[in-house]
Amino acid sequence: MPNGSPPRPIKIGLAGLGNVGAGVFKNIQKNAALIQQRTGADLQIVQVAVRDLGKPRDVEVPAEMLTTDWRDLVNNPELQIIVELIGGTGQAFELVSAALKARKIVVTGNKALLAEHGKELFALAEQCGMPIYFESAVAGGIPIIQALQEGLVGNHIQSIHGIINGTCNYILTRMSQAGLTYEAALQEAQEKGFAEADPYLDVSGWDAAHKAIILASLSYGFWIPQADVYVEGIDKVSATDIEFARRLGYTIKLLSVIRADAQGRVEVRTQPSMVPNSHVLASVSGSFNAVVVQGDIVGETLFYGRGAGQDPTSSSVISDLCDAAAILIYGFRHTGFVPHGLYGKSKPIDETVSHYYLRLLVKDEPGVLAQVATVLGQRNIGISSVMQPEDLASETGTIPLFLMIHDASLGQMRAAVEAISGLGCVTEAPSWMRVETLG
Ligand code: HSE
């Protein structure tokens, strides 16, 4: 616990138990011990507003916690935080406004709501002295909002280039890599829970445009009017365009571009764009998002991660809940090192496991590979491939032998390399290094 005292219960009302809401409910429980140790808060969802009580759900919520009227959350004096995940801009606007007026902290993932009503809602939040947190509104699990608000706070933002709609990126990736039709790829994205309830918002480009408005507004300090934003969707991108782009060395992405010109005028647009394959954004595939932010002091920074889906998006909501809890408990956002007892041991380096590359210089004679393989086999080390390029044989009768090794511990490898060095057929000290699978 940050201050050594028992975790403080924080009572939360959750409006919306769809894909993301269910993820928040589930993951708060899954990582409760960690969250308590790190934040000193026991996050408790005590009331949940849903549209339809009978709908089958991913998570089991006790019936007594459910209500069909979000006003019950606002009117519940026990609740300190209200999480708005109902989507849309009608009831969500009423709910967020009412929650602020009832002096409750608001956490929302609703990008359409903020893009349309951000100006009024933040003015109301200021007036009520209650914060609104919205990390999950942009780029799913990527903490891009905190990055702009905190990590890059000292920079003039010169530009932002982002792939910020997971559904469109998934569709374009599946069309280009698996040859799927647009319709089939969209259906897959819907089945995986990436798409909005109304996928028109995704494929029309508007979901990304809403997120671009939020990023631009945070970066430039005024709410960008929706009417000033240029938006084009991916529905007209054909398999033929994708193929010709590929031949020309480009990948088609739904790209959001935000930048200020020398006169301080801000450009915000979202449209299908050809991105050169040499640029890191071209390799952002599937439901992944990436945001490249150029700041005048920091230079170029890259944020990458899953931009849609239940778990990544709920990770951002939980981050907001922890920030809100810190305000309630300590009066300020808790930062810095927090000791806790859930881990606490270093792994001995000899027990760490990875793949390995091993290069030997050996005598060019029969039986050499068998000797090397025996040493490795005796230590239970598997070989995944072997290469002995004849063109590298030397006139003195030696030849390099390259081996790729399956998972082995450093201890096993050290012992094996020492034994291999001692073989009469090995004529110089072996060269070896880890091959990282980056998983
Ligand atoms: N439908 C959105 C997307 C979900 O595909 O990116 C995350 O905002």
pLDDT at 227: 95
Ligand 1 atom closest to the CA of 289, numbered from 1: 6
pLDDT at 177: 94
Contact 135 CB / ligand 1 (< 6 Å): no
Percent of the chain with pLDDT over 70: 98
Report whether 283 contacts 169 (CB < 8 A): no
Contact 136 CB / ligand 1 (< 6 Å): no
pLDDT at 198: 87
Q: Which CATH code of 3.40.50.300, 3.30.360.10, 3.30.365.10, 3.30.460.20 fits the domain covering 144-307?
A: 3.30.360.10
Pocket test for ligand 1, best of 196, 213, 313 (most atoms within 8 A of CB): 196
3-class secondary-structure state, position 14? strand
Q: What number is the average pLDDT over the span 311-319?
A: 98
Q: How confident is the model at residue 346 (pLDDT cuts 50, 70, 90)?
A: confident
Whole-number Å distance between alpha carbons of 426 and 28: 56
Q: How confident is the model at residue 217 (pLDDT cuts 50, 70, 90)?
A: very high
Whole-number Å distance between alpha carbons of 125 and 105: 9
Contact 307 CB / ligand 1 (< 6 Å): yes
Whole-number Å distance between alpha carbons of 99 and 128: 10
Q: What is the DSSP letter of 426?
A: B
Query: What are the φ and ψ backbone dihedral angles of 254, each rounded to 5 degrees?
Result: -80, 110
Contact 203 CB / ligand 1 (< 6 Å): no
Strand stretches in 16-73, DSSP E? 41-49, 66-67
Ligand 1 atom closest to the CA of 211, numbered from 1: 8
CA R_g for the chain: 27
Q: What number is the average pLDDT over the span 178-183?
A: 93
User: What's the gap in Å between 293 CA and the centre of ligand 1?
Assistant: 20
pTM, rounded to two decimals: 0.90
- pLDDT tops 70 at residue 1: no
Cα 401 to the center of its chain, rounded Å: 41
Segments making up each domain of the chain, as ranges: 2-140+311-330, 144-307, 350-435
Q: What is the 3-state secondary structure (H, E, C) of 300-321?
A: EEEEEEECCCHHHHHHHHHHHH
Nearest residue to 42 (alpha-carbon basis) of 1, 81, 10: 10
Nearest residue to 400 (alpha-carbon basis) of 439, 373, 427: 427
Query: DSSP labels for 373-391?
Result: HHHHHHTT--EEEEE--GG
Q: What CATH topology corresponds to 350-435?
A: Alpha-Beta Plaits (3.30.70)
Contact 309 CB / ligand 1 (< 6 Å): no
Mean pLDDT score of the chain, rounded to an integer? 94
User: What's the gap in Å between 415 CA and the centre of ligand 1?
Assistant: 50
Whole-number Å distance between alpha carbons of 192 and 90: 26
Q: pLDDT by residue (tens digit) across 34-79? A: 999 999 999 999 999 999 998 888 899 999 999 999 999 999 999 9
Whole-number Å distance between alpha carbons of 139 and 210: 11
Q: How confident is the model at residue 340 (pLDDT cuts 50, 70, 90)?
A: confident
Query: DSSP labels for 102-166?
Result: TT-EEEE--HHHHHHHHHHHHHHHHHHT--EE-GGGSSTT--HHHIIIIITTTS-EEEEEEE--H
User: What's the gap in Å between 137 CA and the centre of ligand 1?
Assistant: 9
Note the CATH number of domain 2-140+311-330: 3.40.50.720
- C-beta neighbour count of 271 within 10 angstroms: 17
Q: How confident is the model at residue 343 (pLDDT cuts 50, 70, 90)?
A: confident
Pocket test for ligand 1, best of 165, 187, 234 (most atoms within 8 A of CB): 165
Report whether 166 contacts 307 (CB < 8 A): yes
Q: pLDDT by residue (tens digit) across 112-153? A: 999 999 999 999 999 999 999 999 999 999 999 999 999 999
- pLDDT tops 90 at residue 393: no
Location of structure tokens 């930048």? 259
pLDDT at 208: 98
Whole-number Å distance between alpha carbons of 148 and 298: 12
CA distances from 311 to 31, 138, 162, 314 (A): 12, 14, 21, 5
φ/ψ bin of 249: left (φ > 0), alpha (ψ from -120 to 50), beta (otherwise): left
User: What's the gap in Å between 296 CA and the centre of ligand 1?
Assistant: 29
Q: Which of 26, 211, 253, 363 is catalytic?
A: 211
User: What's the gap in Å between 244 CA and the centre of ligand 1?
Assistant: 27
Ligand 1 atom closest to the CA of 202, numbered from 1: 1
Whole-number Å distance between alpha carbons of 217 and 294: 15
Contact 167 CB / ligand 1 (< 6 Å): yes
Ligand 1 atom closest to the CA of 137, numbered from 1: 8
pLDDT at 2: 57
Please give the helix or strand (H or E) that residue 345 lies within, else none.
none
- C-beta neighbour count of 120 within 10 angstroms: 13
Nearest residue to 109 (alpha-carbon basis) of 23, 41, 31, 174: 23
Strands across the sheet containing 383-387: 383-387, 398-409, 353-363, 431-435
Q: What is the DSSP letter of 88?
A: S
pLDDT at 289: 98
pLDDT at 335: 64
Is the C-alpha dihedral spanning 61, 62, 63, 68 positive or negative?
Answer: negative
Two structure tokens written together for 236: 């007209």
Please give the helix or strand (H or E) that residue 408 lies within, else none.
strand 398-409
Two structure tokens written together for 290: 């990436």
Report whether 294 contacts 156 (CB < 8 A): no
Nearest residue to 96 (alpha-carbon basis) of 284, 204, 85: 85
Does the annotation count 211 as an active-site position? yes
Ligand 1 atom closest to the CA of 208, numbered from 1: 6
Pocket test for ligand 1, best of 111, 187, 198, 207 (most atoms within 8 A of CB): 207
Q: What number is the average pLDDT over the span 398-426?
A: 97
